[in-house]
């Protein structure tokens, strides 16, 4: 197994899809080889990440961390992995069968290439489940970018006319969503968990496949613009490779990765001393008892975080988390463009995600334990969350509202170096 080749392909399809798809279309391979040398490896990543998250890190809710047993975690990972492999094969058959409808050429190997390499974005983003709270945003962003990759790939692999690619993409994704939903129901019955699937087709308009256009302000339109910027950013890497300078190649790779995750721009996360003032000494009448602020980075990617605990003598405790996603702000932006919403209620609480005044908001509350969390995303870059015990959700909302949100949001372009 040539893992370096897999890594190079993942990098190429994510960063330079427009030039990589023609290469993929021209490669000679078989269905078996695609599974053995690529799909079986990359599709295993989200399953492995889910197992680590569920059985070792755990899922937090209402102040309680829940972990599945090792046995149940392995069962879920194995079954979920098997479903993803089977779903890829079914989608190969469907994309191949739909080809004549969109004036494309039937070819099962090319159809499987289309599935495998467009889904790469979703599979890679699936690793984000390990990241607390923000992990699902990364997953949604990966799904949106996978749609864009599919849209770019169909004209190359299936030889469909470019003007019919949006309709081909839309119908394929609708079918994939339905099949994934069915698989999710089956998987939930096995491991006792559910799955939430978000949208991403908003932005495809037109009554027929010949008149479909892409709204530049939609998720797909934003993804297309992002892809163009990433392709431009990769030219620096190409120049470095031609130079033969190893140090230059390393720096260029870091710069390109940072630009890709930053939505086409290179982003330097806020320095700790800039982020710290947004963590006040008191919060909702409680005194700050500890604080930590740090900026971490690797390969050109940076993220800054500030965490603080507030408490009083009566045992009331609140936790404040302020995160500058920095180099990953592009993923946050895609998640916001996806207009993700969910609303779940139980007999003693609720959880919901929605958009308010252009901001992504997340609420979670347990009326029995009087514990919850309220989070908000500012400027498609900063995530602010207050969690802990309170009399009501209104108190948590008030705590967040009492922060200098406008001041933080005003810094959304600080450290951003535009590319293109």
Residues 220, 208 contacting (CB under 8 angstroms) = no
pLDDT of 128 over the 90 cut: no
- Rounded CA gap, 82 and 186, in Å? 12
pLDDT tier, 30 (very low <50, low <70, confident <90, very high otherwise):
very high
Quick: pLDDT tens for 187-201: 443 344 333 333 333
For residue 389, tell me if it sits in a domain: yes
- Rounded CA gap, 373 and 390, in Å? 10
Percentage, residues of the chain above pLDDT 90: 30
379 is written with which tokens?
């400027």
Q: How far is CA 408 from the centre of its chain?
A: 23
Residues 113, 24 contacting (CB under 8 angstroms) = yes
pLDDT of 220 over the 70 cut: no
Do 199 and 318 sit in the same domain of this protein? no
Domain that holds residue 312: 272-417
Do 205 and 296 sit in the same domain of this protein? no
Do 209 and 344 sit in the same domain of this protein? no
pLDDT tier, 17 (very low <50, low <70, confident <90, very high otherwise):
very high
Strand partners, 205: 213
pLDDT at 10: 92
Ranking 184-193, 366-375, 386-395 by mean pLDDT, the lowest is 184-193
For residue 407, tell me if it sits in a domain: yes
Do 87 and 164 sit in the same domain of this protein? yes
pLDDT at 224: 53
284 three-class SS: coil
Quick: pLDDT tens for 309-327: 999 888 789 999 998 877 6
- Residue ending a domain, choose from 214, 236, 254: 214
Do 167 and 308 sit in the same domain of this protein? no
Please provide the average confidence, as pLDDT, over all residues in the chain.
76
- Rounded CA gap, 75 and 81, in Å? 10
For residue 209, tell me if it sits in a domain: yes
For residue 348, tell me if it sits in a domain: yes
For residue 258, tell me if it sits in a domain: no
pLDDT at 344: 76
**Torsion angles phi and psi, residue 236, rounded to 5:** -65, -40
Place of tokens 């039937």: 106
Percentage, residues of the chain above pLDDT 70: 65
Do 200 and 282 sit in the same domain of this protein? no
Do 150 and 35 sit in the same domain of this protein? yes
Closest CA to 153 of 299, 23, 289: 23
pLDDT tier, 281 (very low <50, low <70, confident <90, very high otherwise):
very high
Do 197 and 317 sit in the same domain of this protein? no
Higher pLDDT, 410 or 69: 410
Rounded to two decimals, what is the model's pTM?
A: 0.51
pLDDT at 180: 66
Strand partners, 66: 59
Do 44 and 183 sit in the same domain of this protein? yes
Segment 337-354 mean pLDDT? 72
Q: Which residues contact 314 (CB under 8 A, 6 or more apart)?
A: none
pLDDT of 139 over the 60 cut: yes
Do 291 and 200 sit in the same domain of this protein? no
SS3 of 88-147: the string is: HHHHHHHHHHHHHHHCCCCCHHHHHHHHHHHCHHHHHHHHHHHCCCCHHHHHHHHHHHHH
- Rounded CA gap, 104 and 69, in Å? 47
Closest CA to 387 of 359, 360, 365: 365
For residue 255, tell me if it sits in a domain: no
- Residue ending a domain, choose from 214, 243, 259: 214
Segment 360-366 mean pLDDT? 87
Q: What is the DSSP letter of 201?
A: -
For residue 241, tell me if it sits in a domain: no
Do 209 and 330 sit in the same domain of this protein? no
pLDDT at 193: 36
- Residue ending a domain, choose from 192, 214, 236: 214
pLDDT of 238 over the 90 cut: no
Question: Count of domains in the chain?
Answer: 2
For residue 226, tell me if it sits in a domain: no
Do 176 and 289 sit in the same domain of this protein? no
């Amino acid at each position: 197994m040539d893992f370096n080749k897999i890594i190079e392909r993942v990098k190429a399809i994510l960063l330079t899809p427009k030039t990589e798809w023609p290469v993929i279309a021209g490669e000679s391979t078989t269905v078996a080889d695609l599974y053995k040398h690529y799909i079986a490896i990359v599709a295993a990543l989200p399953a492995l990440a889910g197992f680590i998250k569920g059985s070792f890190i755990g899922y937090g809710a209402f102040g309680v961390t829940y972990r599945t047993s090792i046995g149940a975690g392995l069962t879920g990972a194995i079954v979920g992995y098997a479903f993803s492999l089977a779903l890829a094969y079914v989608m190969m058959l469907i994309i191949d069968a739909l080809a004549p409808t969109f004036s494309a050429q039937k070819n099962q190997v090319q159809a499987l290439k289309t599935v495998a390499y467009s889904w790469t974005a979703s599979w890679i983003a699936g690793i984000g489940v390990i990241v607390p709270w923000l992990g699902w945003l990364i997953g949604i962003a990966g799904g949106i970018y996978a749609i864009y990759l599919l849209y770019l790939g169909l004209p190359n692999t299936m030889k469909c006319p470019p003007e019919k690619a949006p309709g081909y993409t839309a119908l394929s994704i609708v079918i994939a969503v339905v099949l994934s939903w069915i698989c999710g129901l089956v998987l939930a019955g096995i491991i006792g968990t559910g799955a939430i699937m978000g949208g991403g087709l908003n932005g495809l308009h037109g009554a027929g496949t010949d008149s479909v256009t892409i709204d530049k302000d939609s998720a797909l339109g934003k993804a297309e613009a992002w892809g163009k910027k990433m392709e431009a950013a990769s030219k620096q890497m190409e120049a470095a490779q031609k130079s033969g300078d190893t140090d230059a190649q390393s720096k260029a790779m870091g710069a390109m990765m940072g630009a890709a995750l930053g939505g086409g721009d290179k982003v330097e996360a806020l320095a700790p001393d800039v982020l710290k003032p947004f963590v006040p000494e008191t919060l909702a009448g409680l005194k700050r008892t500890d604080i930590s602020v740090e900026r971490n980075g690797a390969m050109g990617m940076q993220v800054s975080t500030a965490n603080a605990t507030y408490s009083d003598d009566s045992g009331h405790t609140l936790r404040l988390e302020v995160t500058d996603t920095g180099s990953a702000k592009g993923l946050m932006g895609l998640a916001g463009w996806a207009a993700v919403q969910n609303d779940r209620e139980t007999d003693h609480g609720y959880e919901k995600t929605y958009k308010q005044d252009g901001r992504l908001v997340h609420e979670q509350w347990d009326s029995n334990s009087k514990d919850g969390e309220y989070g908000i995303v500012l400027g498609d870059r900063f995530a602010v969350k207050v969690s802990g015990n309170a009399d009501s959700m209104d108190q948590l909302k008030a705590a967040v509202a009492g922060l200098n949100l406008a001041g933080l949001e005003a810094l959304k372009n600080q450290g951003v170096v535009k590319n293109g």
